[in-house]
Amino acid sequence: MAANIALKELAVRDGLTGLYNHRYFKEALTVEVLRCNRHDRGFSLIFLDVDHFKVYNDVNGHPNGDLALQSLGHLIGSRLRGSDILCRYGGEEFAIILPEITHELSCNIGEEIRQQIENHAFDCEESQPGGRLTISLGIATYGRDGKDGSTLMEVVDKRLYKAKADGRNRCCCAD
């Protein structure tokens, strides 16, 4: 029994950060949409990406990049509620599901996370453009921006790319 629980945990966790993985995120998003459809509730979705992370890895090496990703996961998680779901989406991308929250409040949380990362002293960050390790975020909210997972993911992805195009180290909550 304990072995089965351990295997299940390994199947849904990212090996580097210990956060939930991409597979778990997809399942959790589906469940959250179904729950909100049934109970007329809302949630927000945040995608975030580390700015210029390839530069960080190229200059400082992948072991330092791994340490930075672990630190990022810890810092982001420290700002979230117990009911929030933080996942490593892939590479240097993270996804957050924020149940039962307004769009305005999720934008405030996203901005707080962005500032927290910008103000944190990461090892070797002086090699980054601007001398800081930073993140860009896109945010979408169920109901306001769509009522299914694929639409919300399209919107949040579009906003993440807008944050990048507008200069990085930004939180984009609207088109």
Residues annotated catalytic, as ranges = 92
Interior/surface letters 52-72, b for 16+ CB within 10 angstroms, e for the rest? bbeebbeebeeebbebbbebb
Instruction: Give the CA distances from residue 59 to residues 71, 73, 119, 120, in Å, rounded to whole numbers and listed in that order.
Output: 18, 21, 21, 19
Q: 138 burial class (0-12, 13-18, 19+ CB within 10 angstroms)?
A: buried
Q: Which helix (H) or strand (E) holds 50?
A: strand 43-50
Token pair in block for residue 14: 């990212």
Q: Report the SS3 class of residue 80.
A: coil
Strands 43-50 and 93-99 come out as: antiparallel
